[in-house]
Structure 1
Amino acid sequence: MSILSRVPFLYALCIFMSSPVIANIDNEFDDLDALLNMPLESLADTKVVTATKTSLSLSDVPASVHVITSKEIERSSARSIADVLILAPGLHVAKFSDYDWTVSARSKNQGENNTLLVMIDGRSAVNPMYSGVNWDTLPVSLDSIDRIEVVLGPVGTMWGGNAVNGVINIITKDAESAPKAQLSASTGNFDYKEFKAHHSGQISENTHLSGYIESLQHSPFTDTDEHFKELRHLKVLTERFGMRADYQNLQNTVSVQFGGIQSREDYQWLTYTPAFLDPTTHKNDYDVFLTEMNSQELFAGFQYLHEKLDGDQWENQVWITHSESDSTNEPASFTRVDLDTRYTFNTQDWGILTLGANARIIDEEYAQFSEKEQYFSPYVRTIDDHKFLNQSYGLYANWAVNITDSTEITLGNRIQYANITEEWYSQPQVRALQKLADNQRLWLGWGRSVITPSRLELDTQFQENSYCSSCAYTVNPDGSLNYYDYMMSYHYLGNRDLEMESVDTYEIGYRYWQDNQFQVSLSLFYSQHDNVRAYRGLGGNRYFTPDSSEHSNGTIIDDMFAQLVDPLSQETIGGELSLQWQPINVLQVNANYSYKTIKGDCTGSICGSSELPILDLENTPKHYATLHVMWDIHPTVWVSSVVNYVSTSEPDEALITAYQSYGNDYTVWPEVITLDMSVNWQHKPTWPSIKLSAENLGGDQLKEYPEQFGPFANGTQYYAEVSWNFI
């Protein structure tokens, strides 16, 4: 049964439970000034929790932190979480296709990026297989987001593994603040259709309930290349739902959440039918067919916060998540339990001390393939021990104390154990904050974080296959040819001897703000990343079998092997600048700029004959910039524009030469300049609002990845959305 089959019933229950109360709300604004003219919140007034797990003013956090507000999300053209993240400095967001993104911070962007921890309300959204993120299947609605907190740099002391180069914490609205009786529908080119229903209300004096359902359909690509002409009918269908109940009474706050997502993707796939495996029935080299790839996730969570009158806090979280996928790249299911408890002592004499413990238990089950089946697909991931109980346990402490009236020092450490490697590892930090004036802060810090080991890099094998009949031959003395079938399989092997990846980062930052009109944040960093992974070729084996197709004299089978090793290290230097300016109440301008450069090094046998692993590591764009303008031109109309810029990479000539047969731009990250615009009209609050958006204006059929990775081109997209709040 589909995980979403009971959603309509659950959502209807939510409506009926809350309607008697919210039906009494009959207030109506004479105009929309209160909705549109929202002043810029100063750094001192902005509260964040991700850096320390306690609510602090953004101005007083000794780390590089940026907040994307719900207003900024609404006033963009973004249709996904990944698209929203271009609004934050320090993040490289690259779009591979119409539903595939990669996001990195302070490191090279790559498909299996595992140096960035992504959470939803403090619950890890990381895929346990490779410790990365599937951005298209995050189970959260854009309309339900209160804010997105982005912390750049190491936050491993508070959050554990993968909080290496940054943490993205997507914080949803509580049930009281969630949209009420809101329906919306969107349509656009490339078969885009989206329907959303949100509702919330009060069900008792201290309890609020909210819920939503969403359905999204679109083409898997916006690339208009002729190669896709026969595949225009393919679709991607994504369905989300979520419910939340919040109870608050005196010092106690309880939150319960339940939700999920299901993704179904039409896909053109092929199955190889190599004759040597079954020569009697062989007809074609492969069968091409349309299939459906499925992935889904369900989650449930319980959060309890007790705030004592003396300022102490005790918080507990329990999350249960089940996810599964039938892709041959990720053929696995995971059932994960996350437990976290912390107690914060808040005293004037001794500062703020947080003590906590966490446990994560993941029941992993991978699909099994027979030896024959491993040659049937273009690619497949296999593992010998297909069942595993992955366990991780940690203890952490963080202490912030005032040395003087204007100087604060923070000391912290986390001790973590992972049974996947049977090792303990430490993630310490030291930070300082100096109050230069009421509206100026200077901070600096050092931290070390590690990347959570994954079964993908330790135990799995990724196999790529290609096959053709009668395509290899030998020449006889008389000049005649002997034809053979040919099978090539490349095996990418994990490695149990890999060392733990760790990153040490040194940072310094400055903040200045002027009331609710202007604010600036600047940070500089240097990081040392050790035990970076690369593949080392192991050679291969050639086999011959007389079994073959009808007109061949046998089959040649080449099995080639490469294994993950950890000979690389990298030094990264860079910085981030963020500006926010509101010259008048109806106009806000956000701008950010980031820079990074990577210097690689290599030791070991892989480095002796070639510098290509180092040169590939260093091949990344250096400059990133975004400009976001929001203008309420009339109480009934607002407009917004977002310009995003990513510079081209400048790979070493040796790297270009190595791939020169593919073209000189094969390894180059292309320059990306995109313009997104939106205009919204709403006559009065009881009327529907109409939003028209355009993405990628002036950059139609733009690729954001090097040709090396075979990316899709991204077309200009247009959307029209009608949204109506019935209450």
Structure 2
Amino acid sequence: MGYGWIGLLLLIANLTMHGTTVFANSSSGVDLTEMSIEEVLQLEVTSAAKKPQKLGNAAAAIFALTADDIRRSGATSIPEALRMVPGLQVARIDSNKWAITSRGFNGRFANKLLVLIDGRSVYTPSFSGVYWEVQDTLLADLDRIEVIRGPGAALWGANAVNGIINIITKHARDTQGGLLTAGAGTEERGTGSLRYGTALSDTAFLRIYAKYFNRDGSVDTEGRSTPDAWETIRSGVRLDWQATNDDDLTIQGDVYYGEAKQTLSLPSFTPPYRERRTTGIDWVGGNLLGRWQHRFTDLGNLTLQAYYDRTSRDESGVMQETRDTFDLDMQHQFLWGNRQDIIWGLGYRFTDDTFNRSNLIRVQPRSRSLHLFSAFVQDDITLIEDRLKLIVGSKFEHNDHTGFEVQPTVRLLWTPHKRHTVWAALSRAVRTPSRGDDDALTDQLILPPKTLQNPGPLPVLVRFLGNRDFVSEKLLAYELGYRMRPIDRLSLDIAAFYNTYDDLRTVEPGLPFTDLTSTPPVIISPLTLDNKLQGETYGVELALEWQLLDRWRINLAYTFLQLDFDLDGDSQSTTSGNDAGFSPNHQVSLRSSIELPGKLTLDTWLRYVDTLSALDIDRYVTLDIRLAWQPLESIELALVGQNLVESHHSEFRQEIFPFQTEIERGVYGAISWRF
């Protein structure tokens, strides 16, 4: 498989089960059952303002998953961990694919959610979305995952429309020594990791890691195995150096290789005019990031960051793509007088892609280079000391698709009492066109001749076409939030929103024409992308944390979401991918974490997800249980059961060439050793 010596070493050692360690030295890695509710609200986050601030003081719908949350959930991947976040819909399509979104518009190619790993954007300009099977790291090295529901475009730019996921790894200083994890199970067939951290000096720290996993395929609706197994190997390094009292330098990078299979339902010219085909997927890539931070005596803090990212993806017979991205970013934070905290910055991104020829998804031109220039400014203005704050700012961008875009926000933060916080926001955000929106051509469906849908003598080939006149999808968002801590052991966070969208994507039919050069000859029925859909969404998101006893904590999350869309009067679209039935109206998550005698911990996680009417997927309930034992200070053993309610269930179905698979019940065991 071309894994090289690292893969051979991991395979021989049978190192499995990544991310199940209890050992963490950073503050956010502390066991949350040993932290008070007040201490949890004092955790520092950076995503809401691009600077450190207390979680309880953010003027946004923000939720932070700590290292302990992730470890005790039993999750073996980042998407699984994200199920804990209120307001997110996380659905598994098959063994290696996910549909993840915030506040609606879910899909395999969900395009209104910006995702970052240590400041590096991992969304792909191919479809303005995320290949979640590629985004990974050692879960034990995660410091936290910050999730903002709602627009963050005023700071982070286009595509941060309905939310931002910011995945942040630990400082190398906090991962000293060795860590070895291993495990296996019914679905997690063999997964594992090896990490080592060392001090190069009193101010310089280094961390290296390698990991491998092999996951079993899923099943079809009848419970028969489907060939969509998944395996990946990855390695990375991080160096953190405090060069002077005022200068910090971080250099980090990763390389990875993965392969999987997928089953697709593809158009065919022979009866029944669709065929089930299994194809392979290979991906390989790497990235290198550098960040320099300088603290001025009187002029605030300056941060310079640059990264290079290369990815190559081959979906056999479907699509083949290679992409290179270079990004440069500068930001400066300073105080102006006693009442204003200003942060501003400049950015530039260059991306170059090459798509090879394919019979199913064709992109013309095959290569294209895109440039993105940006600037932002935000001012936090204290109106009443420790009581009332006004936040105003905007992002200004120029892209090669639609030109100049402005994305402002106005936010108000009111703290009438130390136990109560109220915030409100009005924001604008855009989702800029992707390469697929502009230039893709896909043959999606064949209508056989002499049928009710096609009474003619020739088959009809339904072909989707991109459109260079496609404009940005636009959002105007109204948000209101309230956080309270009525007693020391209880906290409640409620966010309500009302969003209006304009120029959403539609698929408009064109005039059919005959193609006699095709084999066999066909009538082409073109469907072209356009912007003829408007709509509104509204909902409520609730997160409750209750320290029932000193060693027992309960976390409850509830999400209500309603979507309503209307076509323009001249639209003839029958499908757009923006159907309200792609997102559940109700979701509930209930987690219990208990410290038991004898160095035992017990974690249970119950979830309910409502019906997806557009996909004909019923509501479902899942139950995960994790029992862990720490016989020695350096060793932890864990047994985890996932999806225990049913033997298998459906969660989603991808938009293009859909084939329905279902997620199975699974059990795995894991061991972690720190040395």
Which TM-score applies when normalising by structure 2? 0.89
1:525 aligned partner: 497
- Which residue of the other structure, out of 636, 643, 647, is the alignment partner of 1:696? 643
1:264 aligned partner: 259
Matches within 5 A, 1:622-637: 622-637=585-600
Alpha-carbon separation, structure 2, partners of 1:582 and 1:535: 50
Deviates more, 1:238-247 or 1:507-516: 507-516
2:473 aligned partner: 501
Alpha-carbon separation, structure 1, partners of 2:180 and 2:311: 28
Q: Work out whether 1:419 is the aligned partner of 2:384.
A: no
Q: Work out whether 1:308 is the aligned partner of 2:296.
A: yes
Q: Work out whether 1:254 is the aligned partner of 2:226.
A: no
Q: Work out whether 1:331 is the aligned partner of 2:347.
A: no
1:705 aligned partner: 652
Alpha-carbon separation, structure 1, partners of 2:101 and 2:578: 19
What's the offset of the Cα at 1:724?
Answer: 1.2
Matches within 5 A, 1:117-196: 117-178=114-175, 180-190=177-187, 192-196=189-193
What's the offset of the Cα at 1:613?
Answer: 6.2
1:450 aligned partner: 430
Query: Which letter does structure 1 place at the counterpart of 2:258?
Result: S
Q: Once the two structures are superposed, what CA deviation does each residue of 1:550-580 show, in whole Å capped at 9, x if it has no partner?
A: xxxxx44232221111110110111111111
SS in 1 for 2:579: helix
1:282 aligned partner: none
Deviates more, 1:568-577 or 1:668-677: 668-677
Change (3 A) 1:87 1:633: same
Deviates more, 1:446-455 or 1:310-319: 310-319
Q: Please say if residues 7 and 212 of structure 2, whose CA atoms lie closer than 8 Å, have aligned partners that are also in contact.
A: no
Q: Work out whether 1:565 is the aligned partner of 2:530.
A: yes
What's the offset of the Cα at 1:305?
Answer: 1.2
Change (3 A) 1:452 1:361: same
SS in 2 for 1:87: coil
Q: Once the two structures are superposed, what CA deviation does each residue of 1:434-489 show, in whole Å capped at 9, x if it has no partner?
A: 1111121111111111113211101111223669xxx9799xxxxxxxxx997653
Matches within 5 A, 1:399-438: 399-405=379-385, 406-421=387-402, 423-438=403-418
1:463 aligned partner: 443
Alpha-carbon separation, structure 2, partners of 1:431 and 1:117: 20
Q: Once the two structures are superposed, what CA deviation does each residue of 1:1-27 show, in whole Å capped at 9, x if it has no partner?
A: 96x64757999xxxxxxxxxxxxxxx9
Query: Which letter does structure 2 place at the counterpart of 1:38?
Result: E
Change (3 A) 1:226 1:48: closer
Change (3 A) 1:208 1:266: same
Alpha-carbon separation, structure 2, partners of 1:673 and 1:395: 45
Change (3 A) 1:595 1:532: same
Deviates more, 1:248-257 or 1:165-174: 248-257
2:35 aligned partner: 39
What's the offset of the Cα at 1:268?
Answer: 6.5
Query: Which letter does structure 2 place at the counterpart of 1:253?
Result: D
Q: Work out whether 1:54 is the aligned partner of 2:48.
A: no
Q: Please say if residues 95 and 101 of structure 1, whose CA atoms lie closer than 8 Å, have aligned partners that are also in contact.
A: yes
Deviates more, 1:184-193 or 1:711-720: 184-193
Q: Please say if residues 599 and 618 of structure 1, whose CA atoms lie closer than 8 Å, have aligned partners that are also in contact.
A: no
1:354 aligned partner: 343
Q: Please say if residues 104 and 582 of structure 2, whose CA atoms lie closer than 8 Å, have aligned partners that are also in contact.
A: no
Change (3 A) 1:144 1:41: farther
Alpha-carbon separation, structure 2, partners of 1:399 and 1:99: 42
SS in 1 for 2:217: coil
Q: Please say if residues 690 and 723 of structure 1, whose CA atoms lie closer than 8 Å, have aligned partners that are also in contact.
A: yes
SS in 1 for 2:499: strand
- Which residue of the other structure, out of 680, 685, 700, is the alignment partner of 2:628? 680
Change (3 A) 1:9 1:123: farther
Q: Please say if residues 620 and 669 of structure 1, whose CA atoms lie closer than 8 Å, have aligned partners that are also in contact.
A: no
Alpha-carbon separation, structure 2, partners of 1:618 and 1:639: 36
Unaligned runs of 5+ in 2: 11-22
Query: Which letter does structure 2 place at the counterpart of 1:298?
Result: G
Matches within 5 A, 1:263-412: 263-266=258-261, 292-310=280-298, 312-327=300-315, 328-369=317-358, 374=359, 380-405=360-385, 406-412=387-393
Change (3 A) 1:712 1:41: same
What's the offset of the Cα at 1:286?
Answer: 12
Change (3 A) 1:38 1:602: same
Q: Once the two structures are superposed, what CA deviation does each residue of 1:131-184 show, in whole Å capped at 9, x if it has no partner?
A: 101111103221211100011111101110111111000011111112631111
Which TM-score applies when normalising by structure 1? 0.83
Unaligned runs of 5+ in 1: 12-26, 276-284, 375-379, 475-483, 549-554, 652-665
What's the offset of the Cα at 1:200?
Answer: 1.0
Matches within 5 A, 1:47-126: 47-126=44-123
Change (3 A) 1:353 1:472: closer
Alpha-carbon separation, structure 2, partners of 1:611 and 1:487: 20
Deviates more, 1:487-496 or 1:158-167: 487-496
Q: Please say if residues 281 and 314 of structure 2, whose CA atoms lie closer than 8 Å, have aligned partners that are also in contact.
A: yes
Change (3 A) 1:40 1:635: farther
Alpha-carbon separation, structure 2, partners of 1:273 and 1:614: 23
Alpha-carbon separation, structure 2, partners of 1:700 and 1:45: 41
Q: Work out whether 1:643 is the aligned partner of 2:623.
A: no
Alpha-carbon separation, structure 2, partners of 1:245 and 1:404: 42
Q: Work out whether 1:511 is the aligned partner of 2:487.
A: no
Matches within 5 A, 1:191-270: 192-223=189-220, 225=222, 228=225, 235-248=229-242, 249-266=244-261
Alpha-carbon separation, structure 2, partners of 1:299 and 1:707: 28
SS in 1 for 2:140: helix
Q: Please say if residues 399 and 411 of structure 1, whose CA atoms lie closer than 8 Å, have aligned partners that are also in contact.
A: yes
Query: Which letter does structure 2 place at the counterpart of 1:540?
Result: P
Alpha-carbon separation, structure 2, partners of 1:522 and 1:273: 50
RMSD: 3.2
Alpha-carbon separation, structure 1, partners of 2:32 and 2:391: 39
SS in 1 for 2:649: coil
Alpha-carbon separation, structure 2, partners of 1:488 and 1:221: 33
SS in 2 for 1:84: helix
SS in 2 for 1:457: helix
Change (3 A) 1:153 1:291: closer
Aligned length: 646
What's the offset of the Cα at 1:684?
Answer: 1.5
What's the offset of the Cα at 1:125?
Answer: 1.0
Change (3 A) 1:586 1:297: same
Change (3 A) 1:44 1:312: farther
Among the aligned pairs, what percent are the same residue? 24
What's the offset of the Cα at 1:297?
Answer: 2.1
What's the offset of the Cα at 1:336?
Answer: 0.3
What's the offset of the Cα at 1:292?
Answer: 3.4
Alpha-carbon separation, structure 2, partners of 1:10 and 1:354: 47
Query: Which letter does structure 2 place at the counterpart of 1:578?
Result: A
Alpha-carbon separation, structure 2, partners of 1:174 and 1:707: 37
Q: Please say if residues 600 and 614 of structure 1, whose CA atoms lie closer than 8 Å, have aligned partners that are also in contact.
A: no
What's the offset of the Cα at 1:347?
Answer: 4.3
Change (3 A) 1:635 1:299: farther
Deviates more, 1:242-251 or 1:111-120: 242-251
Q: Please say if residues 351 and 400 of structure 1, whose CA atoms lie closer than 8 Å, have aligned partners that are also in contact.
A: yes
Structure label with greater radius of gyration: 1
Alpha-carbon separation, structure 1, partners of 2:213 and 2:450: 50
Q: Once the two structures are superposed, what CA deviation does each residue of 1:169-203 show, in whole Å capped at 9, x if it has no partner?
A: 00111111126311111211146210211111211
